Amino acid sequence: MQKLCDLDDIDPAMGLECSLQAGDVLRHVLVVMVDGDVRAWANVCPHMGRSLSWAPGEFLYDNQGRLVCPHHGALFITGTGECVEGPCRGASLTPVAIDVRGGEVFAAQPAA
């Protein structure tokens, strides 16, 4: 298991971008807190495979708390990863399995 972050590092309003080494590939992961639960998603929009961050570690959210893809405006529910509006409607973000222990967040397995 690889440590992604401490729970205290996660901004409840913005989430946190973490790095995950998957073999010889470095992956970027968005870690969010949703109603007290931690979720992690590959930082990749399913529409065209582009990053969901508009700048390194910076994410956009609409007034309903949905994650906004800065490239094509797709909207994602952070709790489920489902795209509810935009060009990839019905698709979902790729989940990253995590394990939360003692105030730390670990990737349970390498991101694919």
Domain tally, the chain: 1
CB atoms within 10 A of CB 57: 14
- Number of residues written out for the chain: 112
What confidence score (pLDDT) does residue 8 get? 96
Closest among 2, 75, 10 to 37, alpha carbons compared:
10
Residue 103: per-residue pLDDT: 95
Query: What pLDDT is attached to residue 1?
Result: 85
Q: Confirm whether 58 is domain-assigned.
A: yes
Say if residues 31 and 18 touch (Cβ distance below 8 Å). yes
- Residues 83, 90: Cα–Cα separation, whole Å: 5
CATH number of the domain where residue 43 is located: 2.102.10.10
**Placement of tokens 């409840």 in the chain:** 12
Q: Which domain holds residue 98?
A: 2-107
Within a domain: residue 112?
A: no
Query: What is residue 111's predicted lDDT score, i.e. its pLDDT?
Result: 47
Tell me the pLDDT of the chain (112 aa) as tens digits: 899 999 999 998 999 999 998 788 889 999 999 999 999 999 999 999 899 999 999 999 999 999 999 999 999 999 999 999 999 999 999 999 999 999 999 998 654 4
How much is the pLDDT for 109? 64
